Amino acid sequence: MKAIVYHRANEFSLEDTAIPECGDDQALIRVKSCGICKTDVHIHQGHFTSRFPLVPGHEFSGIVEKTGKRAGNLAAGDRVVADNASLCGDCYYCRRDKPLYCENFHSLGVNGPGGFADFVVVDANKVFRIPDDLDFDRASFTEPVACAVHGMDRIGAQCGDQALIFGAGPAGIILAQLLQLGGASDVLLAAPTLFKLKAAEELGIRETLQISRGDHAANEKLIRERYPKGFDIVIDATGAGAVAGQCFRFAKKGAKIIFYGVYNESETIAMNPYRIFADELTVIGSCAQTHCFPRALQYLTKNTVRVDTLISRHYRLEEYATALDTVISGKESLKVIINPGSCRYSK
């Protein structure tokens, strides 16, 4: 089969590799669609718990090609998505029912072989069927929607909350949809790129604001004109430390500040501990997900969370370098999809 293989950070090639063996409790999936996200950029650079050699790709959907003898009721031909996260069940955190902090966290496409390949092997208990009317491209959004579902669990939004989100990439737009569905009375999505804000509006985000990429004083003036008291929830979905550090400027007393983007490990920001103490601010991190795929699929299959207009580009495995450059540049693209095999557009 064909696969994108990294042997070290920043260096990859399209290689002919053996089709992976399917264990008794596993399913072999023929990959139809696999999304590229900013996490893949961090993995490309050797960050975010990546381990080489590696076949990346963690947002994938496809068709079951083969199953092991203990793969439950899965069968060849099933249209599926797969939760890429596997947990050991026996470490300090797993035994305390905190699986996301598993000390042996295994994530396909991050530190195990993922979906930028013709085939991928997944534990059968991590595979979920999808309906015929959910195409493979949209189904590949199950993982990012699951991460947003986990984000909502962490945020604990209340009816009537006012929320500000910095960043109109797929993660920010999906989270904004969930906040609107989850009871927030106001959700302001702020970003510098107009076409991304237009895409968000097409998907039902009611309030957007184009801001400057670096003029924080001007941005604060624009936002304060609309919301002089600030917000109950302030989210950075950009993964940029410079933006994360600005979130405190817009927090009401008692607000929650959520760091939702993937940051470089070396980044730091300045925080005023007296302000956090006196205003009783809550600082929350939201990273990845576990056990959120069923809820994410409900949103996608009912089209309650819409992702169709987020898809900007399709590429084949042979075009991975171009696809990655497209994501890194961010020019006129939101979600980039890799479609392995001979069919570029997957239904």
pLDDT tens for residues 3-40? 999 999 999 999 999 999 999 999 999 999 999 999 99
Provide mean pLDDT across the span 322-327: 96
> Is 346 part of a structural domain of the chain?
no
**What is the total count of domains within the chain?**
2
pLDDT higher at 139 or 265: 139
Give me the residues paired with residue 332 across strands.
none
Strands in 137-281 per DSSP E: 162-166, 186-191, 207-210, 231-236, 251-259
> Beta strand 26-36 with 119-123: parallel, antiparallel or unpaired?
antiparallel
- Those residues whose C-beta lies under 8 Å from the C-beta of residue 65, and which sit 6 or more positions away, are 28, 29, 30, 76, 119
Do residue 29 and residue 131 come from a single domain? yes
- pLDDT score at 347: 56
- In this structure, the answer to whether residues 6 and 135 fall within a common structural domain is yes
CB 323 within 8 A of CB 34: no
Domain presence at residue 230: yes
User: Is 301 part of any domain?
Assistant: no
133 shares a domain with 171: no
| Alpha-carbon torsion (84, 89, 93, 96), positive or negative | positive
Pair 106, 100: CB distance under 8 Å: no
Q: b or e along 33-70 (b: 16 or more beta carbons within 10 Å of the residue's beta carbon)? A: bbbbbbbbbbbbeebbebeeebbbbbbbbbbbbbbbee
Residue ranges making up the domain that contains 69: 2-141+307-338
pLDDT tens column, 103-139: 999 999 999 999 999 999 999 999 999 999 999 999 9
To the nearest 10 degrees (0 to 180), the angle between helices 170-181 and 194-202 is 40
C-alpha dist (Å) from residue 321 to 116, 143, 180, 316, 344: 12, 22, 36, 10, 16
Asked if residue 291 belongs to a domain, the reply is no
Asked whether the beta carbons of 326 and 338 are under 8 A apart, the reply is: no
> Is residue 300 in a domain?
no
Going by their DSSP bridges, the two strands 85-86 and 106-107 should be labelled as antiparallel
Domain check: are 120 and 208 in the same one? Answer: no
Q: Are residues 114 and 170 in the same domain?
A: no
168 and 131 housed in the same domain:
no
- Mean pLDDT, residues 153-164: 98
Mean pLDDT over all residues of the chain? Answer: 96
In one-letter notation, the amino acid at residue 158 is Q
What CATH number is given to the structural domain containing 80? 3.90.180.10
Cα separation, 282 vs 280, in Å, equals 7
Alpha-carbon gap, residue 85 to 107, rounded angstroms: 5
Query: Is 343 inside a domain boundary?
Result: no
> 207: exposed, middle or buried (C-beta count within 10 Å: 0-12, 13-18, 19+)?
middle
Could you tell me which of 82, 52, 66 has the C-alpha nearest to residue 20? Answer: 66
CATH at 199: 3.40.50.720
Same domain for 81 and 205, yes or no, is no
Is 137 in the same domain as 151?
no
Distance CA 39, CA 36 (A): 8
